[in-house]
Structures are given as structure tokens and as C-alpha cells.
Amino acid sequence: MDFDALKWDDKGLISVIFQDHETNEVLVLGYMNRQALQLTLETGKAHLYRRSRGKIMMKGETSGNVQLVKEILLDCDADAIIMKIEQIGGAACHEGYRSCFFRKLEGDEWKVIGERVFDPKEVYGR
């Protein structure tokens, strides 16, 4: 893969949308740097650059809810990627929901529309 063909932001990151490969449900929006993308390509498991921690982590490395990459799509501007994945375990979200998009705007309030698959305090100890 020609990594130079991708349009990385000023921090060396590219946006990645993770979608269930069978249902097309959007599960996560994350970011990758070159190393995270390379690790993902080498292992077939999603790796993200965690901006809050300043490091690369394999998705599910703590929870066990790993994402196996089935297909990779690049947008027309080459500045965003979709990874179609198989979600191992029931949740993609570190809050314990299947999808990070578990809230819906109803009127002027965010309503939780997803069900928790696991308790993050039990999994992450926080």
C-alpha cells in the first residue's frame, strides 16, 4: 500500500469508520497513524491511535472485543477510510455498547437507544 497516497492530517492521522461487514451498522469512528494502519494490515485486527493516550492500541486488547478486518474502503479525497469488520464479542464501544453511536437526539435531548453489552467498570476497572 502506498501510504503517501493517503491524506494524513497535520497530526499524521486519518479518520477511520468501522462498520459491521454484514449489517453495515456503524460501530466506531477512530483514527489511525501510519503505524496503526500497518499493524492492522499485517495482523488483520484493527489497531487505533488513541489520541487521549497518545499511543497505538489494538481494538479489544483490554476487553477482548476484537475487530477482524474484512474489507477496506477509501473515500474520494483519500482522507477517510471505512473498515468493514467482524466484531468479536458483543461490543465495539468502550462504554459497553455494541456501537459507539448509542445515543439519538430526540427534541433537544440525547436519548440512549442502545443496550449495554458489558459493564465497563468490570472490564476496565474504572
Hey, where are the domains in the chain? 3-94
CA distances to 28, 41, 75, 97, 114 from 101, in Å: 7, 25, 21, 8, 8
CB burial of residue 89 (10 Å; 0-12, 13-18, 19+): middle
In tens, the pLDDT along 54-69 reads 999 999 888 889 999 9
Mean pLDDT (the chain) is 95
> Quick one: pLDDT at residue 85?
98
Q: Calculate the dihedral angle through the C-alpha atoms of 24, 26, 30, 32, rounding to the nearest 10 degrees.
A: 10
Average pLDDT over residues 7-34: 97
Query: For the domain 3-94, what is the CATH superfamily, name and number?
Result: Phosphoribosyl-AMP cyclohydrolase (3.10.20.810)
Average pLDDT over residues 42-58: 95
In tens, the pLDDT along 78-123 reads 999 999 999 998 899 999 999 999 999 999 999 999 999 999 888 8
> Quick one: pLDDT at residue 30?
96
